[in-house]
Structure 1
Amino acid sequence: MPPSERSLAPAGPEPDPGAVIEDLLDLPAGVISHRQAIDHGYRPHDIRRLLRRRIWAPILPSVYVAHTGPPSWEQRAGAAVLWAHPAALTHLSAIRAIEGPRTAGPERVPIHVLVSHSRRLRAPAGVVVHRSRSFHDRLDPWSAPSRVRYEHAVIDTCLDEENRWDRVDIIARACRGRRTSPYRIRTALENRRVPDRAWLLDLLVDVAGGRVRCSSRATCRASSGRTACRGRPDNRRFARPWG
């Protein structure tokens, strides 16, 4: 058995380590919740022994990582989803999970998770909790760890920005990356109540028509290496000062 698999196995003869690892293959490597450990046959004293021997270490309340060094971003994200279960990565965290680290920013940024609107959670340090009445409708059913669909992550990240040029850049980047389209973002907006809805719909029309590629030439060159760019939107409604 590889060392990464042995690190998750309890010290005693029960449960079977191979079965535990096989059942947890869809989780981020080396991260497990207390609930999952109990469900797979670990007893409380097994968990305490693994923690005491520093084979496991707590990463969030009732969530453990199978080493004592600094956790990776992927382990922090997986641990946040396990801690808030049922939950899903959202906002910039969902975008990073899809796009990878190149467009994600610093490693130690907070992890954003989405939960049902009826739940009240006190987030630990490094985790930001968002609530939604349409929690289940936004989920990507094929993702691991669980995350919202890309279009919803783009919308939420866009609305977090106060500067509208930054919002333009987020939408344009998402569509330019070909992971989504203005039509799919518009469809995701249909059943959501969001501020600046009319402005966002107008922006999506301009992106679909090729009138918006990014918020500035410098941004486009820095992000994609292109020298040809349409630059700032040429539509009159984007030329006036923001209100």
Structure 2
Amino acid sequence: MRLDPVADLLSQQDGVVSRRQLLDAELTQAQVDTLLRRRDLVVVHPGTYLSHTGTPTWSQRCWAAVLYAGRSALHLGSALHQPGRGADPSGPIHLAVDWTRRVAPQPGVHLHRVRDLDDLVRWNLSPPRVRLEVAAVETAHRAPDDLAAISALAAVVGARRTVPRRLELEMERRGRLRRRGLLTDLLADLDRGTHSVLEHGYLVRVLRPHGLPQPTSQQEVVSTAVGTEYRDATHADLELVVELDGQLHDGSEARDDDADRDLDDLARGRVTPRLRYRQVFGTPCRTASRLAVLFAARGWGGTPRSCREPGCDVGGSSRHVADDLPH
């Protein structure tokens, strides 16, 4: 007994098939039981089978979840997942089902009951997925901290999978949204190519809570051989410029331009630490402790202080802070 009647279906669904599909292909329940007994089919979820005995791939786990739940679609991180791009292939499958339905939970599958599901899903995809913008904004809404929320939107824009305006429209469509102000400002930054969210975060999360000196200029105009450039946060009295780098691409040309700017600053006697979203929103205390060392080395006579958040180790003399740096 073979699976020839559903060969095309298995090819389309990455080796996964449901009992209903087998019966619709005119296999009998007795034949299905024989295929299971012979291990030609292996149960993944009740009524959902895999056509081999190995470990299911991410794609196969997604298909198994969708076929098990019936009319459903990948959601949240599962809808955003790109194989080989850092997502955990063994993580849970997030699945959206209509608000009115009740589906029994299964190990490794997180079910989300969603209103107006039909309007939010790209049913033509295999397997179906909640629209990218819907999944990204909902992921940002559920994020445990500001950095994760920023990353949810910045990642899809940076990968050129969508544009800020589409994300803005999705944010306007939905009602409740955590961090709406922060995310609205972020999308404006991404659209204009500015870094105001980073600039504000640098002041209120890194400098002020830790007693570090304020920039003497928030944006300095510098004339170079190739034209006019802008420096984000200049500490002129310390001969130091902090670059707030919100770039979302990793092209070699962009990295070369960054290296040229840093080299120009060093030639002028300036040091140029480069901060991104993670340093400002993810590890502001760690960033402050490292900046305190740089500021002290450049002549700052102040003393950094703890922001009193749990785990903040900023404080004491700059010598003590420097001693904590890895060698």
Question: What band does the TM-score fall into relative to the shorter chain?
Answer: 0.7 to 0.9
Residue pair 1:57, 1:68 contacting (<8 A) in 2 also: yes
Residue pair 2:159, 2:249 contacting (<8 A) in 1 also: no
Q: What TM-score does the superposition give when structure 2 sets the normalisation length?
A: 0.59
- Where does residue 46 of structure 2 map in the other structure? 61
Alignment RMSD (CA, Å): 3.2
Number of residues paired by the alignment? 217
Residue pair 2:48, 2:64 contacting (<8 A) in 1 also: yes
Structure ranking higher on relative contact order (CA contacts 8 Å, 6+ apart):
1
What are the Cα deviations for residues 160-206 of structure 1, in whole angstroms up to 9, with x where unaligned?
Answer: 21211221122112111111011011122232123223433232222
Residue pair 1:90, 1:148 contacting (<8 A) in 2 also: yes
2:276 aligned to which of 226, 231, 235: 231
Identify if the C-alpha distance between structure 1 residues 85 and 167 changes in structure 2 by more than 3 Å, giving closer, same or farther: same
Q: Which runs of 5+ in 2 are unaligned?
A: 203-242, 259-273, 279-283, 285-306, 308-327
Percent same amino acid among aligned pairs? 32
How far off its partner does 1:139 sit?
A: 0.6
Q: Aligned AA for 1:29? A: D
Residue pair 1:211, 1:230 contacting (<8 A) in 2 also: no
SS of alignment partner, residue 42 of structure 1: coil
Which shifted more, 188-197 or 143-152? 188-197
Q: Distance in 1 between matches of 2:143 and 2:68?
A: 27
- Alignment partner of 1:156 is 2:138: yes
Larger radius of gyration: 2
- Where does residue 20 of structure 2 map in the other structure? 35
Q: Distance in 2 between matches of 1:7 and 1:220?
A: 55
Could you list the structure 1 runs, at least 4 aligned residues long, displaced by more than 4 angstroms after superposition: 212-217, 219-223
Which shifted more, 224-233 or 135-144? 224-233
Residue pair 1:88, 1:146 contacting (<8 A) in 2 also: yes
How far off its partner does 1:150 sit?
A: 1.0
Which is richer in strand? 2
What are the Cα deviations for residues 124-152 of structure 1, in whole angstroms up to 9, with x where unaligned?
Answer: 10000011112111111321111111111
1:176 aligned to which of 155, 158, 166: 158
Residue pair 1:77, 1:111 contacting (<8 A) in 2 also: yes
Which shifted more, 157-166 or 49-58? 157-166
Q: What TM-score does the superposition give when structure 1 sets the normalisation length?
A: 0.78
Q: Distance in 1 between matches of 2:100 and 2:147?
A: 34
Residue pair 1:207, 1:213 contacting (<8 A) in 2 also: no
Q: Distance in 2 between matches of 1:212 and 1:147?
A: 32
Q: Aligned AA for 1:172? A: A
- Where does residue 135 of structure 1 map in the other structure? 117
What are the Cα deviations for residues 200-221 of structure 1, in whole angstroms up to 9, with x where unaligned?
Answer: 323222221212499799x989
